[in-house]
Amino acid sequence: MIFTLVVHTAPYQSPTAATALRFARAVIAGGHQIHRVFFYRDGVYNANALASPPRDEQHIPQQWQQLAEEHQLDMVVCIAAAVRRGILNADEAKRYEKDGYNLAEGFELSGLGQLVEASLKSDRVITFGGQR
């Protein structure tokens, strides 16, 4: 089965981002495929290279990076949500005349079209978080 995951919550806002990460690991361990992980709304904070949790807490952004590297996952961050929240790659930092960028390695900025395309190519789209 082919899955797309959509993560709406920041890594330390609630347990939801960690649950999405555990689900992704379980999908892969079960022999299934993840077509794409799409980070939207506050979920874009999972792609922040500057996240520095205390040493006794999970480093969720880093764990997403490790999972993506190990399994060649496509991790897409909604560009509109990211820029609004100050998550920038080098190109967007230059475009907005910022001194630096903080999009973590392994993540890419792109639009909602990537979510639509992933939905069409996946058997299941699982959403983590959302509006309350």
78 in catalytic set: yes
State both tokens at 73: 């996952």
The C-alpha atoms of residue 107 and residue 46 are separated, in whole angstroms, by 9
Residue of 78, 82, 104, 109 marked catalytic: 78
56: exposed, middle or buried (Cβ count in 10 Å: 0-12, 13-18, 19+): exposed
Give the residue numbers annotated as catalytic, written as ranges. 78
